[in-house]
Amino acid sequence: MRKYSVFAVAREAMRGHRGWEAQWTSPEPRKEYDVIIIGAGGHGLGTAYYLAKEHGITNIAVLEKGWLGGGNTGRNTTIIRSNYLYDESAGIYDHALKLWDGLSQDLNYNVMYSARGVMMLSHNVHDQQVFKRHIHANRLNGIDNEWLTPEQAQEFCPPLDISRTARYPINGAALQRRGGTARHDAVAWGYARAAADRGVHIIQNCEVTGIRRNPDGSVAGVDTNRGQINAKKVGVVAAGHTSVLMEMAGVRMPLVSYPLQALVSEPIKPIFPCVVMSNTVHAYISQSDKGELVIGAGTDQYSSYSQTGGLQIITHTLDAICELFPIFRRMKMMRSWGGIVDVTPDRSPILAKTPVSGLYVNCGWGTGGFKATPGSANVFAHTIANDAPHKINAPFTLERFRSGRLIDEAAAAAVAH
């Protein structure tokens, strides 16, 4: 792999950009691999990368039904933060945040991580109490999170309407300065390039149709539309389709799949300096480096695998955005889309071994998986390599729904996230 650098850009500029090589290859699948990862999104490609980099396992295939990064990795609003309430969540999300800082250098790929600050708006006394509780819990875990008055919030984000007559008046905000955004496609591409460089096979348009088992019940490999591929270990990293894949191995999951929608505006000059979220009115907004306002909604009302969602959900979100930021009222929206998110009962992910020996699952990220990409991939690779969880993901088991040791971020936030 040729390293990307300012010298490479200069060299290619001199010779008409004819020397750039493909970022990853598309090899024919082998008969057998040590590890198969199902799903070439950020979490899956990252898992392959860390398996190769940190655990010396390079005989890996990442199988993808569609195209690389075309699922939720390419459909989210790219928000990164780690100010979760519980110790377990703080552990995994802050592990991810520490990896985001330095990921571009690690991958030699500009993932455009920008710690521009994530501000969560408080609209009522309940919000204020919940956010302050989060701030104190975060500080005890060494995670930055601070309380802002409405005036400080507007100073941090000038387009914000803090007038008392606003439809959704603001009585403060919680700010995580290390939070921000990254370029979602670049995360998938960067991990793919770095993994392929270490010998990982990335096989697109390869749909898994069955999970094969040995007579003793352990995993033997997978059936795909490109034939049977054997493997000692299989990791399922398939977001909204996890239930479908796990059913092939006879494992019923505590998951429900919902559409989650997002949309972008026409591109404009830089106007929006940070990320703003409002859980109460359910709107998320930031501005991409291309200039588009990136706006996210809450999940749809009913479960579905249609990557669309209902129009009333995004119009409701836009209503809220226009009330919070009257300056955007006359902007045109360019595109909207939906991704299928897998939601657990406690709104915390599952990164764990399964009842099937050699089968591992990384799922349940719900509406907030992008921010966790490097951390999730890193500890999931550890789990697969050692057949035992890393201490960071040890609490995120499948068995917690039997034992009752839930990590109840759903109750903590009173909102799907």
Partner 1 sequence: MLLIYCPYCEEERSELEFRQAGDAHIARPTNMTEMTDEEFEAFFFLRDNVKGLTFERWRHLNGCGRFFNAARDTVSDKFLTTYKAGLPRPDLGTLRPATETTVETYEATESDAK
Which residues bind to partner 1, rule: CB under 8 A? Answer: 241, 243-244, 247, 252-257, 301-308, 310-312, 342, 345, 401-404
User: Both tokens of residue 54?
Assistant: 């940190």
CB 275 within 8 A of CB 180: yes
Q: What's the min distance (Å) between Cβ of 53 and partner 1?
A: 33
Q: What's the min distance (Å) between Cβ of 188 and partner 1?
A: 19
CB-nearer residue toward partner 1: 80 or 363: 363
CB-nearer residue toward partner 1: 221 or 338: 338
3-state secondary structure of 341: strand
CB-nearer residue toward partner 1: 142 or 404: 404
Residue of 238, 245, 237, 232 lying closest to 33 (CA atoms): 232
Tell me how far apart the alpha carbons of residues 180 and 183 are, in angstroms, rounded to a whole number: 11
Q: Which helix (H) or strand (E) holds 315?
A: helix 311-324
CB-nearer residue toward partner 1: 7 or 302: 302
CB-nearer residue toward partner 1: 20 or 305: 305
- The b-or-e profile of 236-264 (16+ CB within 10 A means b, else e) is bbbbbbbbebbebbebebbbbbbbbbbbb
Q: What's the min distance (Å) between Cβ of 151 and partner 1?
A: 38
Residue of 227, 199, 212 lying closest to 358 (CA atoms): 212
C-alpha neighbours within 13 Å on the C-beta side of residue 385: 21
Cα-Cα-Cα-Cα torsion 77, 82, 88, 92, nearest 10 degrees, comes to 70
CB-nearer residue toward partner 1: 344 or 378: 344
CB-nearer residue toward partner 1: 248 or 331: 248
Q: Return all residues near 297 (Cβ < 8 A) that are at least 6 apart.
A: 260, 261, 262, 263, 282, 283, 284, 309, 313, 314, 316, 317
Q: What's the min distance (Å) between Cβ of 184 and partner 1?
A: 19
How many other C-beta atoms are found inside a 10 Å radius of the C-beta of residue 161? 18
Q: What's the min distance (Å) between Cβ of 283 and partner 1?
A: 19
CB-nearer residue toward partner 1: 193 or 241: 241
Helix 373-386 vs helix 87-100: angle between axes, to the nearest 10 degrees? 110
Q: What's the min distance (Å) between Cβ of 233 and partner 1?
A: 24
Q: What's the min distance (Å) between Cβ of 367 and partner 1?
A: 16
CB-nearer residue toward partner 1: 42 or 240: 240
Q: What's the min distance (Å) between Cβ of 384 and partner 1?
A: 24
Residue of 12, 284, 325, 303 lying closest to 168 (CA atoms): 325
Q: What's the min distance (Å) between Cβ of 354 and partner 1?
A: 13
How many other C-beta atoms are found inside a 10 Å radius of the C-beta of residue 218? 13
Residue of 94, 96, 121, 99 lying closest to 175 (CA atoms): 121
